[in-house]
Amino acid sequence: MCPNKEISTDMKSVSSFFAFCKTNLRLLELAYLLAIAVIGVFLVYRVTPVSGVDEEFHFYRAQQIAQGNLLAQRYSGHMFGGGLDTSMLTWVRYFNSNRDQHKPSDSNVAAQIAKDLENAKRDREVVHFPSTASYSPLMYIPSAAAMMIANAGHGDVDTRYYAGRLGNLFGYIGMLALVLAVLPVGRLAVLALMTTPTSLHLATTYSADPVTNLGSMLFLACCLRARMAPPEDRKIWIRLIIALAAPLGFFKLTCSFLSLGCFLVPTNSFPTQRKYVQFCMTVVGLSLVSAVVWNGIYPFTPAHYWNTGGDPKVQILTMLEHPWSFVREIAETYRVGSHWWWEDAWGRFGGGPVPLFFKIGEGTGYLAIALIVLLALADKRPIASPRSGAILITLGALYSLLTLLAFYVGFSHLGEDTVSGLQGRYFYMSCAAILSGVLLFLPRQNKTYQTVCAGLLGAYFVCVAHVCIEATGIYARLWN
């Protein structure tokens, strides 16, 4: 085939994919996404700047990428960072100073600082932010792109800052729409799970979580779609799976494990068993290589960055020499974590010291769990595949175990009863995979109970809105 025909075929495949997504989104899903976007815009402007979960460091990385520096600089002491716009740093440090002094920030003062910086000379100041400088630029494309647009329009520092938050929000909404359009089962339940108040808080600040979680979920959704598509329609999904394999490894080292989702693709999608094995090896290989190469250049060692007292070498040695002690610590972590991980994933706000960090909405959180389960049962299930369900449940369970292992090695220190450093948000992907897997064990259900689903999703939205409004009330005392 000549190059022009290959390009034409690829362009048709891309246009077919987006046409599929456009026609496959349901009105209920679009209405919910619009409502979530409205709440998101409200959060963008009402949450104190630089007060999200680790937002200061995520902002530095997004700012660095927006300046055109995709790769962080390496400094002595195994530190990473780079030169950042001093005007942006001056504005951001007003909020950091108030945070450290436990003082509220004044919007009028912040606006005046931004105005005073309008004609300031744009110098660069070297800042160390190794925890996020070690991240791939992929996770910051939405926020960095929006900052670049605001900068091209000569926006003030505050305009550029909020543009980055808005970029992250709309990138999150767009990726969520793609996941919903592709995912063949459990769509409304996954939609609810990925739009908890904490998820919205992350999406409306500079967090890398939205792209990481939804990019990973899109990969699994394509694998599931290839599973249910007729053989003649699987080629586009197979191409997308291969295309998403390398980014999966660039998200996080643990995300590369999800590349094993390629085994959801039926063997009869390929002319021979050998071709199928080559496909799976290519997908897993691309993901693992990208993860290993990136982490080899920019290793993520939080124990060193945050001075937790942990030593990865000591932890690995302890795990190998005392395996039963390691198993007991992991088991105890699951036992203790089961009591608070969902509360943390549902209503955790802020990343600084109290009062900028708080948890709310415990009551609505329990109701939300029930609504997610009911949405999963009331929504249509066009396929039933116990084999695929078993693969997804296994992937979800092992992914949670890998998360614990990563924090055991990279964050915890010797002698702790449980793995430290964990947050509920780290388990969104595990829950989504396990939930989708469980649904594949149930009988097919081609009918969607529209009225029931609308009522359940509406009730879930009320829960989300209630917690977000309560959170903005707290922030109003800290940012006025």
In this model, does residue 379 exceed pLDDT 50?
yes
pLDDT at residue 120, as a whole number: 78
In this model, does residue 306 exceed pLDDT 80?
no
In this model, does residue 425 exceed pLDDT 80?
yes
Residue whose entry in the numeric block shows the structure tokens 């689903």: 453
Instruction: Identify residue 374 by its one-letter amino acid code.
Output: L
Q: Tell me the C-alpha distance between 29 and 47, whole Å.
A: 26
pLDDT at residue 3, as a whole number: 45
Least reliable range by pLDDT among 11-15, 38-42, 126-130 = 11-15
Q: Mean of the pLDDT values across residues 135-153?
A: 96
Instruction: Identify residue 69 by its one-letter amino acid code.
Output: N
Residues forming a β-bridge with 11 = none
pLDDT at residue 14, as a whole number: 58
Q: Mean of the pLDDT values across residues 247-275?
A: 95
Least reliable range by pLDDT among 228-242, 302-316, 321-335 = 302-316
Average pLDDT, the chain: 91
pLDDT digits (tens, 9 = 90+) for 203-225: 999 999 999 999 999 999 999 99
In this model, does residue 291 exceed pLDDT 50?
yes
Kindly give, in sequence order, each residue whose CB lies less than 8 Å from that of residue 452, ignoring residues fewer than 6 positions away.
374, 378
In this model, does residue 2 exceed pLDDT 70?
no
In this model, does residue 353 exceed pLDDT 90?
no
128 sits in which H/E element: strand 124-128
In this model, does residue 1 exceed pLDDT 50?
no
Q: Mean of the pLDDT values across residues 56-70?
A: 96
Could you tell me if 445 and 380 are in contact, meaning their C-beta atoms sit under 8 angstroms apart?
A: yes
The share of the chain scoring above pLDDT 90, in percent, equals 76
Q: Tell me the C-alpha distance between 193 and 201, whole Å.
A: 14
Compute the 3-state secondary structure of the chain and give helix, strand, coil in percent, each to the nearest 5: 70, 5, 25
pLDDT at residue 167, as a whole number: 98
pLDDT at residue 41, as a whole number: 98
pLDDT band at 272 (very low <50, low <70, confident <90, very high): very high
Neighbour count for residue 404 (Cβ, 10 Å)? 20
pLDDT digits (tens, 9 = 90+) for 159-204: 999 999 999 999 999 999 999 999 999 999 999 999 999 999 999 9
Q: Tell me the C-alpha distance between 365 and 375, whole Å.
A: 15
Q: Concatenated DSSP letters for 332-401? A: HHHHHHTTTHHHHHHHEE-SSSTTSSEE--HHHHHHHHHHHHHHHHHS-B----HHHHHHHHHHHHHHHH
pLDDT at residue 15, as a whole number: 65
In this model, does residue 351 exceed pLDDT 90?
no
Total-model pTM: 0.93
User: Could you tell me the residue ranges of all domains in the chain?
Assistant: 3-476
